[in-house]
């Protein structure tokens, strides 16, 4: 008897499953089609991104290898195009090459390019902080106290590995302006910072002992 009931229950369950597939055949086929399309799109996009990275890499290498004093303007234009691609590796490298080789003299243009990298390019947190620090360093000799701090505050108010560098730059900035008390405060922050760069910490201590001791 129990065996008959088990057979009936199995048959009933199989019939329900069969009816479910019959009644929902279109929906199931549509869902399966959507999943297949999504998978194809995902892998196709990944391949497209890989090809794009290789193309940008090849372009950067060609531009920088062919650079000479005779093609400064064209080199700058080509590197700006790479910066605007917002590639996490080659956009920053392109800007560094422009700055190192003095391909663009207008600070406003350079700052706009820094903003593309800092604000619009997907970067690792510390790489972004490095570029913030580089922007501050690039501008430090010509901007006022407020502007310098506005640039560096995202680092100074964080636990970034670049924090001691930002504090040192700020301290040296105030020292160059003969604002010794402010300079001393920032140097002391470096000494009190747990994860200070050891070389930066040593330089800060030397500055305090040599020039800012009471």
H and E: helices and strands count for the chain: 10, 0
Of residues 81 and 51, the one with the higher pLDDT is 81
Confidence of residue 48 (pLDDT cuts 50, 70, 90): very low
The burial class, CB within 10 Å (0-12 / 13-18 / 19+), for 169 is buried
Q: pLDDT per residue over 4-42, tens digit each?
A: 455 555 556 666 666 655 666 666 566 656 666 655 555
In the prediction, which pLDDT does 204 show? 94
From CA 15, how far away is CA 200, in angstroms rounded?
A: 76
Average pLDDT taken over every residue of the chain: 85
Nearest partner of 191 among 212, 214, 173, 174, judged by Cα: 212
In the prediction, which pLDDT does 195 show? 85
**Domain ranges across the chain:** 11-43, 149-214
Q: What is the pTM of this model?
A: 0.76
What does the DSSP 8-state code read for residue 101? T
Contacts of 97 (CB under 8 A, 6+ apart): 64, 67, 79, 103
Nearest partner of 91 among 104, 81, 76, judged by Cα: 81
Confidence of residue 45 (pLDDT cuts 50, 70, 90): very low
């Amino acid at each position: 008897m129990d065996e008959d009931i088990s057979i009936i229950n199995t048959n009933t369950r199989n019939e329900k499953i069969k009816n479910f597939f019959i009644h929902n055949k279109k929906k199931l086929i549509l869902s399966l089609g959507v999943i297949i399309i999504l998978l194809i799109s995902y892998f196709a996009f990944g391949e497209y991104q890989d090809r794009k990275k290789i193309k940008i890499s090849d372009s950067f290498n060609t531009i920088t290898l062919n650079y000479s004093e005779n093609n400064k303007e064209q080199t700058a234009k080509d590197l700006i195009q790479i910066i605007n691609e917002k590639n996490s590796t080659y956009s920053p490298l392109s800007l560094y090459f422009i700055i190192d080789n003095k391909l663009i003299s207008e600070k406003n243009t350079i700052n706009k390019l820094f903003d593309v990298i800092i604000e619009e390019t997907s970067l690792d947190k510390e790489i972004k902080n490095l570029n913030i620090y580089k922007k501050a360093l690039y501008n430090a000799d010509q901007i006022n106290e407020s502007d310098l701090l506005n640039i560096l505050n995202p680092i100074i108010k964080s636990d970034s590995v670049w924090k001691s560098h930002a504090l040192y730059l700020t301290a040296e900035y105030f020292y160059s302006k003969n604002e010794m008390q402010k300079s001393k405060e920032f140097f002391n922050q470096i000494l009190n910072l747990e994860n200070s760069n050891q070389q930066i910490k040593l330089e800060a201590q030397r500055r305090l002992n040599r020039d800012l001791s009471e």
